[in-house]
Structure 1
Amino acid sequence: MIRTLRTFALLSIFALLLSASAQGQSLRYGTGLQVMGGTAVASVSPGFHFRTTLPITQDLSLGGGIGLAGFVFEGQADAVYAVDPEVSLIVTIPTPSRSATYLLGGGGYHVPFGNDPPASGPSFHLGLGRIWALQETTLFLEFTPALYVRDSSAGGLFPIRAGVIF
């Protein structure tokens, strides 16, 4: 079951990339830093987040991404790392200015590993972000809390991300 969900998340991201070239749409790529807190590991983790988005309409996009995080502040002996592939639907609220607010929601899979990690499981997220358009790129800041379902319990993931979209 876990392997099936992991495979589904990765294949969804791959399908997003393939569908862009088939539809003639231009993909947008984003990268940024994230700080994530979680209830399964009582710590905060720095990390990176990478996302690809496919515009469907002017205000609606499909996104696929992957986050990498390391809960390392407790020392090397207690370090836990995590990989978070996810797929999102992104709705941008139009404004007349060069900045806009967006809502995103979707699902993914939280895969912790390292020293005594919690169990892997699917995650469901709903978040809020803000973008600022520059000349050739766009800056973003977002908060995307997620419900992370483990074997017989659930927990929360609380990433804050900032970065650039090309």
Structure 2
Amino acid sequence: EFVDINIASKVADAFQKNKEKITTTDKLGTALEQVASQSEKAAPQLSKMLTEASDVHQRMATARKNFNSEVNTTFIEDLKNFLNTTLSEAQKAKTKLEEVRLDLDSDKTKLKNAKTAEQKAKWEAEVRKDESDFDRVHQESLTIFEKTCKEF
């Protein structure tokens, strides 16, 4: 279970861009309305049916805009808030954990390559310090990751 930040932000951006976009249903409704007004004298029945079809398309376009608006307020805004706060915090925790782990691995390598007893003692102390730092950051990160999973 992991959240791809890029995909989630693309979904949010796509809904934001399409919020007030004129749809094909809008265009069709407008076109039907124009044809109905032009054919009113020549074919009143056709004009009446075209006007009714135009009204239906206009209502469908309005319903679609309302749906998109509702999705935007109930889902996309929550998704954006999640991405910008909780997931961002989890990303920072992951980066910090990776950095601490790299420090620990580096010091372990230096300990392994130490030649003198003095160097070994120095690097053993560093490794112990780094292990305690890693354990602390690991626990903090786990807490943040669990919180992120629950909120998602």
- Structure 1 length normalisation: TM-score? 0.17
Between Structure 1 and Structure 2, which shows a larger proportion of helix residues? 2
Q: Which has the higher contact order (CA 8 A, sep 6+)?
A: 2
Instruction: Say which one has the larger Rg.
Output: 2
- Structure 2 length normalisation: TM-score? 0.19
